Amino acid sequence: MEQIMDEIAVDPEGERRAAFEALAREQLPRLYGLARRLTNDGAEDLVQECLLKALRSFGALQATEAGPAWLQQILVNAFRDRLRKEARSVEEVGVEEIDEFSLYRRVADEDPFPYSDTLHVDFLEAFGHEDVRAVLMRMPQIYRAPLVLRYMEGFVTKEIARMMDTPLGTTLARLHRGRKLFEREMWAYAEEASLLEPKEAP
């Protein structure tokens, strides 16, 4: 171990490489989690692509504390490039088709838990983590990505527009449709996966 440390100390390239490996290892769960939220399949490939690109430009990273966000951005860029190559990326949804849908109203009207005083909260609590992912995967990727980046990863809209290389207006419109689609798919999934059926008494 001492020998390795000595080699790093006299070898800037080795030091850089060791720092990259440490950052990459630490961020693997985060990157894989993000990749799984963005893509239907190929999350592992996307992480590999991200790491390959990251290593190439690791020298440009100024502060190590910026490393996690920097890696996330590289992953999103790789995802965006992949999206452009796929025919699915042009899967636009007409706003008129979904703009009228309100999950709040649908839950209130259908009243799936008639004895509940907290109907809407109970509805959300019927979903587990894998159910959320299943709902996201039902959405076209161009609408899913802004939704994930905004409300799950915490990026602001301007950052999302830059990362996805789309005009701000387009990003806002996709985010709007993405929210509506997510609501509609939540309801459809809840019905199909029988999440709304009364639970049996223990």
Nearest to 82 by CA among 54, 45, 114, 107: 45
Question: What DSSP state is assigned to residue 1?
Answer: -
Q: Which residues contact 122 (CB under 8 A, 6 or more apart)?
A: 113, 116
Nearest to 196 by CA among 131, 100, 102: 131
Nearest to 196 by CA among 133, 126, 108, 135: 126
Indicate the helix (H) or strand (E) that contains 4: helix 2-10
Nearest to 33 by CA among 41, 24, 43, 42: 43
**4 belongs to the binding site for other proteins (CB under 8 A):** no
**183 belongs to the binding site for other proteins (CB under 8 A):** yes
- Residue 7 or 84: which CB sits closer to other proteins? 7
**195 belongs to the binding site for other proteins (CB under 8 A):** no
Whole-angstrom CA distances from 113 to 6, 122, 149, 196 are 66, 8, 32, 8
- Residue 130 or 200: which CB sits closer to other proteins? 130
- Residue 89 or 157: which CB sits closer to other proteins? 157
- Residue 66 or 121: which CB sits closer to other proteins? 121
Tokens of 110: 């259908």
Rule CB under 8 A: choose which of 91, 99, 165, 192 binds other proteins: 99
How many residues belong to the site for other proteins (CB under 8 A)? 42
**154 belongs to the binding site for other proteins (CB under 8 A):** yes
Binding piece for other proteins, criterion CB under 8 A, among 24-32, 71-79, 83-91, 188-196: 24-32
- Residue 58 or 90: which CB sits closer to other proteins? 58
Residues 67-96 that bind other proteins (CB under 8 A): none
Q: Which residues bind other proteins (CB under 8 A)?
A: 21, 24-25, 28-30, 32-34, 37, 44, 47-48, 51-52, 55, 99, 102-105, 108, 120-121, 124, 127, 129, 132-133, 147, 150-154, 157, 172, 175-176, 179, 182-183
